[in-house]
Amino acid sequence: MRYDLNLLPVFLMLMEERSVTRAAERLGITQPALSNSLNRLRDTFQDPLFIRARYGIKPTQLAEEITPTIAAALAQLDELIVNQQEFQPENAERLFTLAPNSYVELVLMPALIAKARALAPKIKFRMTPFGNDLAETGAISGTTAMVLGRIVSPPDNFVVQHLMDDGLACVVRKDHPDIQNAISRYQYEKLKHVNVLPPGKLRAGLFQALDQQNLKREVAVSVTHFLAIPEILVVTNYCATLPKLLCKILERDPRLKILPTPVDLGSFPIHMGWHVRYRLDPAHRWLRMLVQQLVKEIT
């Protein structure tokens, strides 16, 4: 039987996005071209595969059943082919989709992009949101090259490597009327706090550390990204408890000052994860080594 292997990545992207529009955007093709591929898939499998739903499309039972087999087959093909290829970063034209959490995006991505630009000027990067569900990032299907953050309970087809650990520090405005060169436990518990609630497990780590030390914190404001915190701190007498590497960046802001936490709140891990299909891919191995080198530099 003859069939087009190019249709299989289209199928997996539709399974992941559950939207013809978003799948076409991710694949870099037009919607009519994707619809044509979907019609050919339907002819091949003699099944609708996807039906219209209230929001996007919904896979049929057959589509759900064949997804693991198709994903595994493509992974094996990828590994077979890329092992025969050489990677020359100075000439490579690639697009890497990465899923860093908001912390990693601030402390590591600028350095990674600068380094990659110097070594591989034709390589491009696309960031996709980091979340609790690895499937939503595209990591499980392999459309996303790498996940960077705290990875908990990964599936069997996902490789996770420990990158680094970071601690916590306090940030207040430079001319805070009650805080000089240190924050006592009493002051910390009396202050109002700004809390960040990014996607992922980082927030759980901070809450657990506070509970373990029996350190209370009155949260006055919760935000979704670290970038919002400095502007809130400079117009209030609030305090924020943030990762130390992020605090190094905030030290450049003359309106803020960084202080140790009143008690040791321990550290939290940052992981790098990728689909097993990229285990031996020369380009992906190069990228992972680049990330490891940069982590050593910044820590």
- 87 occurs within a structural domain: no
- 11 occurs within a structural domain: yes
Q: Are residues 71 and 121 in the same domain?
A: no
In this structure, what is the dihedral angle of CA atoms 111, 113, 117, 121, given to the nearest 10 degrees? 170
User: Tens-digit pLDDT profile for the chain (299 aa)?
Assistant: 567 888 998 999 999 889 998 888 888 889 999 999 999 999 999 999 999 888 889 999 999 999 988 988 887 787 666 655 667 889 888 899 999 998 999 999 999 999 999 999 999 999 988 876 777 788 877 788 999 998 888 888 889 999 999 999 999 999 999 999 999 999 999 999 999 886 544 456 788 888 889 999 999 999 988 899 999 999 999 999 999 999 999 999 999 999 999 999 999 999 999 988 888 888 999 999 999 999 999 88
Residue 203, pLDDT score: 52
Helix axes 282-298, 109-119, angle to 10 degrees: 130
Residue 85, pLDDT score: 62
Domains identified in the chain, total number: 3
- 2 occurs within a structural domain: no
Decide: 223 and 195 in contact? Cβ < 8 Å: yes
Q: Are residues 225 and 254 in the same domain?
A: yes
Q: Are residues 180 and 260 in the same domain?
A: yes
> Residue 33 is part of which domain span?
7-82
Residue 83, pLDDT score: 59
Residues in the chain: 299
Q: Are residues 156 and 274 in the same domain?
A: yes
Residue 198, pLDDT score: 61
The Cα 38–Cα 47 span in angstroms is 11
Residue 133, pLDDT score: 73
Domain ends where: 58, 82, 106?
A: 82
Does the global pTM surpass 0.75?
no
Residue 200, pLDDT score: 47
Q: Are residues 278 and 150 in the same domain?
A: yes
Residue 82, pLDDT score: 62
Q: Are residues 27 and 114 in the same domain?
A: no
